Structure 1
Amino acid sequence: MSFFNNKVVVVTGGSDGIGKALVDALLQQGAKVATCARNLDKLYELGKTHAGKALFTSATDVSNENECKLFLEDVVKTYGTVDILINNAGISMRALFTDTSLDTMHKVMDINFWGTVYCTKYALPYILKQKGTVAAVSSIAGFRGLPGRTGYSASKFAMNGFMEALRTELLETGVNVMWVCPGFTASNIRNAALTKDGTPQGASPLDEGSLMTAEECATHILHAIEKRKRTLIFSSGDKRTVLFNKFIPALTDKFVRKFFFKNGELIK
């Protein structure tokens, strides 16, 4: 029997990409799943795909505290509790800081960081009773600042710090707090990434077909949750980046600059 069988699992941002892959996998393993997203059409299609299964969906903007509160209240009304929260909802950006509007920076922080804080705040009382798990989908950008992603890196650094502090606070409660860093994964996040004026860039600068699939990513995340890991950094390259940044940060600056720039222009 699956570890997730009959567990109530909340996945934010479950209508697309990694979030959708998590919802699909969890339902296959017998979980009772609740998910939220802003796109009603995608939520409707998700519901149709899993008709008859234990899936609760809600049109929710995680950057809005009250909407997060109402979403979690509805989840508890539907399923009675929360065993696991996966803070997956997020948005990226791609623009140099000198060109980026502060509204764009605020939007990225509101969704990525505050969305995690809001949902965790309202799910935690139930997770404490269940001795369950709070997880967050972070990024290597939360360990190493990435050019063209100042707001995104700031939000993920904040997320990692929040999760680490919370983990330490809850260390003797039976609750596991963890964060995972998938690296580049095939999804819509780069198409939806915000440009300098806050509009979606609409196209990915990467070869999406060569990246890890969302389904493979979801498998790794669920395995880490089952094993109650602390952190999970997926690729060997990302692990090297974290290690290099810790011990040779000045040289790592040059490596990262070379990866993201060509002839003085941001290319990734």
Structure 2
Amino acid sequence: MKKDFWNDRVVVITGASSGIGKALYEELAIFPCELVLLARRAAEIEEPKNKHERTIIHLVTCDLSDSTSVMDAIEWIQKKVTKIDVLFNNAGITAHGRFDSLSMDVYRKTFATNFFGPIQLVRGLLPLLLLTKGNIVTTSTVSALYGVPGRAAYSASKSALHAALESLRIETLESGLGVSLVCVPYTDTALRTSGLDASGEILSEAPAKGKRKTASEVAHVLMSVAQNKEARLVTFNLSGKFLEWMRFFSPKFLEKILYKKLYEDFKPH
């Protein structure tokens, strides 16, 4: 990763108050750049100790599930900055539950945060990104690559976002805009304690079992991807690459594995 790449860049980060978004903010604050931090609880974001003296930080309160809030954020950004070099499209919400138990309200809330909000934000900031031939880096999941049992709303919302942004990438080929989708593995974040259950209540699940990445490790990968306009769909590890390939070559085998691995998450009660 070229560290001087970030000097004098204008970077927008959604979901900047916690998890991967917070890690991105803290990693980038050491460079002399301009950071626009969007979060529902933006006022709670604290200045990191390692902040560069020339780093400019803007805190913008924005709830991606609320179209009015997103529009207000877009208008604020358009007035404050003259360009955007990188948009880290990071904020998101998970939803757990069987297809036959998920309420329609959960689908609506999940799509509002994971699809409609990000799409509205990207559309609004696109002129500023095109000025710099910038890069849109989206924090996604392998659950977007195939319908995962017990995650119908989550998989569907992320998959829809993939399709829309892939369309954008093709449509802007001549402009030099970068559009990258990064499917991160299990990471130490609050995703499972801030998501939704089948009825729309807040999840209270334990972190996923097995080895997990730290938010800082994921942030470093996202920063590297932001410097590579050729990056399209990025998977981290063998499990991600396995799902990416098996969805084409042997979906029946893949479904058997997902059924067995995630049965406890969707078995009938």
Shorter-chain TM-score above 0.5: yes
Distance in 2, matches of 1:123 and 1:31, equals: 18
Aligned equivalent of 1:191, options 181, 190, 193 = 193
Distance in 1, matches of 2:68 and 2:83, equals: 19
1:46 aligns with 46
Aligned residues of 1:61 and 1:67 also touching (Cα < 8 A): yes
Cα shift readout 1:51-91 (whole Å, capped 9, x = no counterpart): 97411112211122232222122223223222211111100
> Over aligned residues, Cα RMSD in angstroms?
2.0
Structure 2's unaligned 5+ residue stretches are none
2:226 aligns with 225
SS at match of 1:97: coil
Distance in 1, matches of 2:214 and 2:153, equals: 25
Cα shift readout 1:142-173 (whole Å, capped 9, x = no counterpart): 11111111000000110110111100000111
2:121 aligns with 119
2:183 equivalent to 1:181: yes
Aligned equivalent of 2:167, options 165, 168, 188 = 165
Change (3 A) 1:107 1:51: farther
Distance in 2, matches of 1:137 and 1:253, equals: 24
Distance in 2, matches of 1:21 and 1:119, equals: 21
Aligned equivalent of 2:249, options 247, 250, 253 = 247
Q: Which moved more, 1:101-110 or 1:31-40?
A: 31-40
Distance in 2, matches of 1:211 and 1:257, equals: 21
Change (3 A) 1:100 1:15: same
Change (3 A) 1:69 1:81: farther
2:214 equivalent to 1:213: yes
Matches within 5 A, 1:24-35: 24-35=26-37
Distance in 1, matches of 2:127 and 2:109, equals: 27
Cα shift readout 1:195-219 (whole Å, capped 9, x = no counterpart): 01111112325248x3000100000
Cα shift readout 1:215-263 (whole Å, capped 9, x = no counterpart): 0000001101112212211111110111112110011111001110149
Aligned residues of 1:89 and 1:115 also touching (Cα < 8 A): no
Q: Which moved more, 1:54-63 or 1:153-162?
A: 54-63
Distance in 1, matches of 2:187 and 2:40, equals: 21
Calculate the TM-score normalised by the size of structure 2. 0.91
1:203 aligns with 205
SS at match of 1:3: helix
Aligned residues of 2:98 and 2:266 also touching (Cα < 8 A): no
2:108 equivalent to 1:106: yes
Counting matched residue pairs gives 263
- Structure 1 residue runs of 4 or more that deviate by more than 6 Å after TM superposition: none
